Structure 1
Amino acid sequence: MQERISMIKLREILRLRYENDLNVRDIGLSCNVGRQTVSNYIALAEKAGINWQEDKNLDDNELEAKLYKGKIPKEYGSGTNNRGNKPVPDYEKIDKELRKKHVTLLLLWSEYKQENPDGYQYEMFCLLYHRWKKKLDICMRQDHKAGEKIFIDYSGDKIPIINSATGEQVLAELFVAVWGASNYTYAEATLTQQLPDWIMSHVRAFEYFERVPNVCVPDNLRSGINKACLYEPEINPTYLHLVHHYGTAVIPARPYMAKDKAKAEVGVLIVQRWIIAVLRNRKFYSLAELNQAIRELVEKLNTRIMKKVKQSRKELYEMLDKPNALPLPAQRYEYAQWKKCRVNIDYHIEVEQHYYSVPYQLCREVIEVRITTTTIEVFLKGKRITSHIRSFEKYRHTTKPEHMPDKHRYQLE
């Protein structure tokens, strides 16, 4: 029997398939459902003739109705090997090319043979490359496609900020984001790891990169992941709407699986050595002052030539990740929190100890509320019902006359 999923997850499956072109496995990881379930729903959408560019604007009921209708040399560098005088492949170039989308060893071997007809056959070509790759350190052996992923985590070590008035110290958190293919790094200090700081650090990281990755891989931080689970981590709804805005996807690192977040942990270690250690004897009196110092050191880190690849992180980023990543959207993300509310019998909902009206027909319904600094928006099954200007007066109510029954409106008049 096919697993029945919520319309939110169904929409996410279709979005990741038709907008992000993710495969079934990655969609399953992102949406916390089995691969067979993903395959079944994609097949169902194709059978129903779903045109996602048009049908994504349908509300949940309309979309649901439409959907259910219907041998080895000793040297491995570039140049010519003495044995048989055969040209040795350029392994560094091969390694860089393999990070690009859709590039395979078979394709690179065919190009090598076109230039070197007397060169190695395919089996030996692959064997030589893999032997060369084993000489690299562990962080260079991971296969990260260009523009595909960034890995996100906080540094365990913190940086003190001194209150100039009281002399008290506040320990600032250090947010770190690292690209998989190029190791291009972003870091900034925040006062907390709470949801607003977590979300806006993503926004500033994307703006620093001037691009958006196809996939974000966060550690199981409570701000972004509601439930850390080996098989089904649950993504915070505000975090989910952030990735919707930027057209990307989230595949959280599995708990107790170090390989899932090795890139982030190595990135954090480098940031600790090249930023926290460098700033250890400096005193900072504001978050802005600290972040200015961090930005300067991040630039030095990204432009420093790496010994193994003989290029800087920035050069690799411009060559690999940036051309294959997603563009920034026209509008900056506006931070918003989401919560579920049950409509009271007086057709009002409570948000931050203030009461807002909804159409009286929705009494006792469970609805979703989007909360920004200026507005309150109400949604039912994905459809926007109403909105209010946000009020910060506690225990007061904001009522629209059109939400009231006729009798109540008559008495009010």
Structure 2
Amino acid sequence: MTVLKELCRCLLRTDLSHRQIAQKVDRSPSTVARYSKRLRTLNAQWEQVQPLDEVALDRWLNPAKTGLKKLFVEPDWAYTHAELQRRGVTLALLHEEYALSAEAGVMSDTEFRRRYHRYARSRGLVMRQVRMPGHDLFLDFSGVRPSLADPQTGQRTPVELFVAVMGASRKTFAYAVASQKSVDWIACNAKAMTFFGGVPTYLIPDNLKAAVTSISRQDGPLLNMTYAEFAAHYETTVLPARPRKPKDKAPVEIGVLLVQRWVLARLRNRVFFSLEELNQAIAELVDRLNQRPMRSCGGKSRQQLFEELDAPALSPLPSTHYEYAEWKLKVSVGQDYHVAWEEHFYSVPHRLVGSKVNVKATRDAVYVFHRDKRVASHVRSRVVGGCSTLPEHQPPAHRAYSQDTAEHLMEWARQQAGALLAFVQRHGEVHRRPVLTLQACRGLQRLAREHGMDRLQAACDRALRAHANSVSSVKSILMRQLDRVSPTEAEAANEDTLPAHENVRGAHYYS
């Protein structure tokens, strides 16, 4: 019961003297006498006083107190707070400007300062968050970094310290990596979930480039494609903290501070030459941190709270490990229907020239996606400036030209076999110039397209029997359709007797 209500109760329900009531409520006897007179004037009963709260009772008994308050013109405190951040601006200047702009009801400089400070305190209100078990895993890198020493020179190289904290239990994980690049970030996330033995509902990282590509006012954060694919593999959701809002990830901010004090401070005088050695020392100290009792949680440790709260609520880890892959988004396909990855060029279907595609690269392969559909798959090559082209991606003319090489031409001849292969082989033996033989193969390919392979085989057979060694001979046989005439008929046609003539001399002339 409040002091004022207790004072009224004693006056209305007891027969204590004013001095005794004053001692009981720690007020002066004159104050008790004043309220006693006021209650008699109002003819007040305890039943009227009992339901009133302190403020309502004070207004009822002391109406002049509120009536004498002066009404001031309230300034725009948000504008005042913003202007105060500018260089050279003071509260005295802002009060002067406020006094000039208000015609009446101007508050004094003291009242102005008092009300501004009350407003400023209201801006710093903090909401206590209740974290659901297994719901949030907070992720961040430490601003204070450990370092590795070179065994020969002793030169120190800073490395990054990754920290992950479960929301409900505050169980902490720390791991040192070489950088904040995507490959190290993904490895840290995977090791953290293996450490906790399950997958949380949400991953809450900071806005580093390995996690968030960009942030727009309309669409919010755009996740790094590799990180988004990683989250999909683990069947979890990424909810990045707002930029410049560290309270969104307060557990990991506290976790980072604890790791800096509990781990890095204890390792400050030790020298490490490898990440493996450093991480082994970090793991030992983090384990001690998680086993340490917390007075604010009834003496329970982070590990005990984790086993009670977070562990039962985590989803199981996937059966397969995530295969790290990097992405390039919205890559334009050039006129050569190729896209580049690390200065090597990979083909896509020629119909996609001018389109935007997404390129995904794993350790052993490169994939190209168009509208979420895979349109190309290549073995990854490390040859700088090289080109990986699949024949099915080329237009027919390009495919024919690219296959018009010595290996392809000779392979074509070997596949046809028969008289055609024999003709090509004899052509090479006779002319002894490979360039001419390749040109002959191209000519034979054209004749095959014009007359068909069966007629071409028959024409090559006739040319071989006639000891003809040129493609023009084969073409002449096809044009005259001699390939369709049997050899005996052709010989008979060649044995026709000469007609009688006076100018024709017989064999007897030469004898």
Fold match (TM-score > 0.5) = yes
Residue 331 of structure 1 pairs with residue 308 of structure 2: no
* 1:147 equivalent in structure 2: 134
Q: Residue 229 of structure 1 contacts residue 254 of structure 1 at CA under 8 Å; is this kept in 2?
A: no
How far residue 154 of structure 1 moved from its aligned partner, in angstroms, is 0.9
The correspondence for 1:159, drawn from 146, 160, 180, is: 146
Alignment of 1:30-179 (within 5 A): 141-179=128-166
Residue type of the alignment partner of 1:241: E
* 1:218 equivalent in structure 2: 205
Could you tell me how far apart the structure 1 residues matched to 2:371 and 2:209 are? Answer: 26
Deviations 1:350-399 (A, max 9, x none): 11100011111111111001111111011111111121110010111011
* 1:407 equivalent in structure 2: 397
Q: Residue 342 of structure 1 contacts residue 364 of structure 1 at CA under 8 Å; is this kept in 2?
A: yes
How far residue 334 of structure 1 moved from its aligned partner, in angstroms, is 1.2
Q: Residue 230 of structure 1 contacts residue 254 of structure 1 at CA under 8 Å; is this kept in 2?
A: no
Q: Residue 139 of structure 1 contacts residue 263 of structure 1 at CA under 8 Å; is this kept in 2?
A: no
2:295 counterpart SS class: coil
Q: Residue 230 of structure 1 contacts residue 255 of structure 1 at CA under 8 Å; is this kept in 2?
A: no
Residue 322 of structure 1 pairs with residue 311 of structure 2: yes
Residue 196 of structure 1 pairs with residue 186 of structure 2: no
The correspondence for 1:390, drawn from 336, 361, 380, is: 380
1:308 counterpart SS class: helix
* 1:356 equivalent in structure 2: 346
Could you tell me how far apart the structure 2 residues matched to 1:226 and 1:410 are? Answer: 43
Q: 1:139 to 1:289 in 2, by over 3 A?
A: farther
Which entry has the higher C-alpha Rg, 1 or 2? 2
Deviations 1:312-370 (A, max 9, x none): 11111111111111111111111111103211111111111000111111111110011
How far residue 308 of structure 1 moved from its aligned partner, in angstroms, is 1.7
Q: Residue 158 of structure 1 contacts residue 171 of structure 1 at CA under 8 Å; is this kept in 2?
A: yes
Residue 270 of structure 1 pairs with residue 238 of structure 2: no
Could you tell me how far apart the structure 1 residues matched to 2:192 and 2:361 are? Answer: 23
Could you tell me how far apart the structure 2 residues matched to 1:335 and 1:206 are? Answer: 16
* 2:99 equivalent in structure 1: none
How far residue 228 of structure 1 moved from its aligned partner, in angstroms, is 4.5
Larger helix proportion of the pair: 2
How far residue 185 of structure 1 moved from its aligned partner, in angstroms, is 0.8
The correspondence for 2:244, drawn from 256, 260, 265, is: 256
Could you tell me how far apart the structure 2 residues matched to 1:337 and 1:262 are? Answer: 30
* 1:291 equivalent in structure 2: 279
The correspondence for 2:168, drawn from 165, 181, 186, is: 181
* 2:359 equivalent in structure 1: 369
* 2:294 equivalent in structure 1: 306
Q: Which moved further from structure 2: 277-286 or 301-310?
A: 301-310
How far residue 198 of structure 1 moved from its aligned partner, in angstroms, is 1.1
Q: 1:140 to 1:315 in 2, by over 3 A?
A: farther
RMSD: 2.0
Identical positions, percent: 44
Paired residues in the alignment total: 278
**What are the ranges of 5 or more consecutive residues in structure 1 without an aligned counterpart?**
1-70, 73-137
Could you tell me how far apart the structure 1 residues matched to 2:151 and 2:159 are? Answer: 15
Q: TM-score, normalised by structure 1?
A: 0.65
The answer to which structure, 1 or 2, has the higher relative contact order (CA under 8 A, 6+ apart) is 1
Q: 1:305 to 1:249 in 2, by over 3 A?
A: same
How far residue 254 of structure 1 moved from its aligned partner, in angstroms, is 0.8
Residue type of the alignment partner of 1:197: D
Deviations 1:74-113 (A, max 9, x none): xxxxxxxxxxxxxxxxxxxxxxxxxxxxxxxxxxxxxxxx
Q: 1:164 to 1:399 in 2, by over 3 A?
A: same
Could you tell me how far apart the structure 1 residues matched to 2:301 and 2:276 are? Answer: 27
Deviations 1:19-71 (A, max 9, x none): xxxxxxxxxxxxxxxxxxxxxxxxxxxxxxxxxxxxxxxxxxxxxxxxxxxx9
